[in-house]
Amino acid sequence: MSNDIVLVGAGCMGAALLPGLFKGFQKSRILVVDTSPLRREKVAAMGVDVASAIDNIDGGATVVLALPPNSFSGFASSTLALKGHAGLVISVMAGVRIATIKHALQICNVVRAIPNTPAETLKSMTVFCAATSVSLLCLEFAERVLSLFGEAIRVESENLMDPATAICGGGPAYISYFAECMRCFAVEQGFNDDESALIVAQVLCGTGSLLSVGDRRPMQLCRDVMTPGGTTARAVEVLDRNNFKEVVGDALLKATIHSRSLGCMVEEAENERSHR
């Protein structure tokens, strides 16, 4: 295994992986491959090598696939240099199954991971699953790489990768959505923009710090705030009356189901391509 890293796709997720890769691979060659000239320009400005495609690759390089799921089949068929690649391939693509990646690229060392955008500040929550064909060396290396972005846990069942995509991958979106609702209320009530943004950010960070201590479950933290007969209980009553828990559950289920169907779509595209 060499120290080279090739990141394919430097969009919102791929770019968020760069700080962790810089931290872990200071002495290595990092190549970022992206079809978008704008993305390449941004990454090149950080002093990183960029390319629009992989022409050749060191056999031991680690490849991180952070391109859109629906671009994968086209990418796999046009990237001959990756066919039979011996090194580790980590995919962060939503839905795309390990078997599909193995088949498309004719490789063994595939790890499917779902990080999230807080990787940008090395605070990702990443869930990953390894192909049974991954070598022990590659598996240990994958754990090390994924831990560079924040917390990383490995699951045995690939089925869990779809709910992980909904919860972990999408999580920062729902929390930010909730934050935006609170920010709008703060502004409506008369706080200025900066004050509103600070209040919401600090409430979330502070709550996150309590959650990450880990000795109290979220609902315990909620109850701790709900002074009997107090103001918060009035607010939580409204959330309960409007079935907030069910709404969140429905939203996460929709995302989970879509992750599975993305996996099926990419597999179908791949099957069609290989039978052509």
Ligand X SMILES: NC(=O)C1=CN([C@@H]2O[C@H](COP(=O)(O)OP(=O)(O)OC[C@H]3O[C@@H](n4cnc5c(N)ncnc54)[C@H](OP(=O)(O)O)[C@@H]3O)[C@@H](O)[C@H]2O)C=CC1
**Which positions touch ligand X (CB under 6 A)?**
8-14, 33-36, 39, 66-69, 71, 75, 92-94, 114-117, 169
- Residue 94 lies near ligand A1CAB (rule: CB under 6 A): yes
In this complex, which beta carbon is closest to ligand X, that of residue 89 or of residue 94?
A: 94
Burial class (CB in 10 A: 0-12, 13-18, 19+), 265: middle
Residues 175-204 that bind ligand A1CAB (CB under 6 A): none
Query: Do 128 and 146 form a contact (C-beta atoms < 8 A)?
Result: yes
252: alpha, beta or left? (left if phi > 0; alpha if psi -120 to 50): alpha
- CB 251 → ligand A1CAB: shortest distance, Å? 12
Residues 17-46 that bind ligand A1CAB (CB under 6 A): none
- Residue 169 lies near ligand A1CAB (rule: CB under 6 A): yes
Q: Which does 76 bind (CB under 5 to 8 A by kind): ligand A1CAB, ligand X, none?
A: none
In this complex, which beta carbon is closest to ligand X, that of residue 69 or of residue 150?
A: 69
Pairing of strands 124-130, 110-114: antiparallel
In this complex, which beta carbon is closest to ligand X, that of residue 151 or of residue 199?
A: 151
Burial class (CB in 10 A: 0-12, 13-18, 19+), 261: exposed
In this complex, which beta carbon is closest to ligand X, that of residue 10 or of residue 61?
A: 10
Pairing of strands 30-33, 5-8: parallel
Neighbours of 16 (CB within 10 A): 23
Structure tokens at 21: 């890769």
**Which one of 97-105, 119-127, 164-172, 214-222 is the stretch in contact with ligand A1CAB (CB under 6 A)?**
164-172
- CB 94 → ligand A1CAB: shortest distance, Å? 4
What is the edge-to-edge ordering of all strands in the sheet holding 62-65? Answer: 49-51, 30-33, 5-8, 62-65, 89-91, 110-114, 124-130, 150-154
**Which one of 51-59, 129-137, 162-170, 208-216 is the stretch in contact with ligand A1CAB (CB under 6 A)?**
162-170
Query: Among residues 79, 124, 165, 196, which is the contact residue for ligand A1CAB, using CB under 6 A?
Result: 165
The values of phi and psi at residue 71, to 5°, are -95, -10
- CB 262 → ligand A1CAB: shortest distance, Å? 7
**Which one of 19-27, 103-111, 163-171, 186-194 is the stretch in contact with ligand A1CAB (CB under 6 A)?**
163-171
Residues in the chain: 276
- CB 183 → ligand X: shortest distance, Å? 20
Rounded to 5°, the CA angle 199-201-207 comes to 100
* Contacts to ligand A1CAB by CB under 6 A: 94, 165, 169-170
